[in-house]
Each structure stands twice: as structure tokens, then as C-alpha cells.
């Protein structure tokens, strides 16, 4: 993936000895988007060698990096995702070295083309492909009951960043979101394999086709609106016409507004 103003040059970070041969000769740049407390680095500029990405984290972030590694290995051959080049986990740290996917993010493309809707067919095709993966072999659970339990823990621990809420919920407390969620229960899920954070910046596109996705650490079986809601919300940046076009391209004529709202509310707590 090309940088497109989302990274800054940096010095190499200290690495376990087992990684040194794989990263030798590369220049380093730190990703500035969506690091979630960890470090994401692009390794580039080595003659005759493809770019690599490195994720590193400690404590809870190390768990997140481990979750992503396991899911990348499970997804290999089912949809295009980065290949795991090398991984190491210690008691409190994790390092994940991955191949890079070519192209730029769908978000970058839409912003460069002032919201050109032609790309939405490709995004919808990719999302349908993901959601068509059989759920029976999938070992990962990301359903709303589990996420609600995790969200409650985050609220009680004071970990929810209320300043990062969407515009519609500016000024809300985490408890306000929780109460709004409760009013939308029970939820009848349409269970599929979901990405978990199906945002425009996690999809790579090249020559009018989505060629892969990244940041799969939340992947698991859940209601399909988990992905639809996040993508729909991202497209709000470009206006309601693109939101409608995306739903139509995916195959939804009239969306379930309660499910859209439920998953957007739940995402605020993470």
C-alpha cells in the first residue's frame, strides 16, 4: 500500500534477533493512521524486494497483534489479505511482519475523485465475497453479545473515548450510548463472517478492483450489519447518494435502520 500522506519516515525500532535478516536493507516509515496504541511501520526501498509492514505492540495491544496474526493465517486463500512473513510473541510484546498489498485505500481514491461512486461496485463485490465465506469452519466469534460484554467492561474501566464519538453523538456519555443500545435489543443477527472494521481505509484498490483488506484483528462471525454499518457510516463523508449506491450494489433495497444504528452505537464504545 502506498503511503499517500499517512506516514512519516522514522528510524528502525529494536527488534528480536530473529527478525533482523528479514528487515535488513529497508527504509522505515511509521503509519500515522489507526495505530490504536501500537506501532505500524512500512518497510520499503530495498532493491529488488517487496515492501513489508510491521506491527508491534505491548500488553493489550500485543493481544490485538496476536489476534490479527491468527486471523490472517486463517483467511489465507479465502480472500486477499497480507501474508504473515514472521511473528513472535513474548509475555508482554508481539511483533507481526507482513507482506504489503499493492494499491491505495478506497478512502484515498474517493477523496481524490471527490466521491466518484464507480468504485462502490468493487467494494460491494468484495464485501459479498467476504460474507460468503462459510461460517461453520470459522473459529472466531465477534457477535453482538460478546461485543456488548466487552463494551461494558470498557465503560466500567473508563476506556471509552467520548471525544471521538460521531457528530450525532457529540456531548453524549458512554452510558448514554449504552442506554441507547439497550433500547434496540433484542437483535436478530444474520450471521456471516465479518471483517469487524470494514472501513474505507482498510480496503485496498487497484484498477477498479478491491485487491485486499487489512486490519483483520476483529474478524469473526457476527451480524452482517456489523460491516455494512461501518462502511455506510464512512461513506457519509461523501453524502447520502453514495451510501444508497453502496447498499444497492450490495443487494439491499431498504436497509434495516435499527441494525445500522445499533452497530454504529456499539462501535462508539471501541
Contact between 19 and 88 under an 8 Å Cβ cutoff? The reply is: yes
**Grid cell in block for residue 239:** 453524502
**Among 264, 268, 265, 266, which residue's Cα sits nearest to residue 231?**
264
**Reduced to 3 states, what is the DSSP secondary structure of residue 145?**
helix
Q: Is 59 a catalytic residue?
A: no
110-145 in b/e form (b: 16+ CB < 10 A) is beeeebebebbbbbbebbeebbebeeeebebebbbe
Which of 197, 215, 223, 227 is catalytic? The answer is: 197
**Grid cell in block for residue 121:** 461496485
Rounded to whole angstroms, the Cα distance separating 95 from 53 reads: 10
- Matching residue, cell 504489503: 100
Active site residues: 197
Amino acid at each position: 500500500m502506498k503511503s499517500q500522506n499517512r506516514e512519516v519516515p522514522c528510524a528502525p525500532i529494536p527488534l528480536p534477533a530473529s527478525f533482523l535478516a528479514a528487515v535488513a536493507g529497508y527504509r522505515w516509515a511509521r503509519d500515522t493512521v489507526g495505530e490504536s496504541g501500537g506501532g505500524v511501520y512500512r518497510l520499503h526501498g530495498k532493491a529488488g524486494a517487496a515492501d513489508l509492514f510491521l506491527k508491534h505492540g505491548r500488553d493489550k495491544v500485543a493481544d490485538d497483534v496476536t489476534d490479527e496474526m491468527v486471523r490472517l493465517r486463517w483467511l489465507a486463500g479465502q480472500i486477499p489479505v497480507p501474508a504473515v512473513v514472521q511473528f513472535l510473541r513474548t509475555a508482554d510484546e508481539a511483533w507481526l511482519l507482513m507482506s504489503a498489498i499493492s494499491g491505495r485505500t478506497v478512502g484515498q481514491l474517493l477523496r481524490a475523485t471527490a466521491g466518484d461512486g464507480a468504485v462502490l461496485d468493487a467494494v460491494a463485490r468484495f464485501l459479498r465475497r467476504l460474507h460468503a465465506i462459510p461460517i461453520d469452519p470459522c473459529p472466531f466469534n465477534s457477535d453482538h453479545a460478546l461485543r456488548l460484554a466487552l463494551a461494558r467492561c470498557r465503560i466500567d474501566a473508563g476506556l471509552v473515548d467520548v471525544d471521538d464519538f460521531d457528530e450525532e453523538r457529540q456531548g453524549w456519555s458512554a452510558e448514554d450510548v449504552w442506554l441507547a443500545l439497550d433500547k434496540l435489543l433484542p437483535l436478530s443477527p444474520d450471521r456471516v463472517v465479518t471483517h469487524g472494521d470494514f472501513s474505507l481505509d482498510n480496503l485496498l484498490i487497484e484498477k477498479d478492483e478491491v485487491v485486499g483488506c487489512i486490519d483483520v484483528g476483529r474478524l469473526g462471525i457476527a451480524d452482517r450489519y456489523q460491516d455494512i454499518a461501518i462502511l455506510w457510516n464512512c461513506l457519509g463523508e461523501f453524502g447520502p447518494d453514495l451510501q444508497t449506491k453502496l447498499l444497492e450494489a450490495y443487494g439491499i433495497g431498504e436497509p434495516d435502520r435499527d441494525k445500522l444504528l445499533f452497530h454504529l452505537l456499539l462501535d462508539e464504545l471501541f
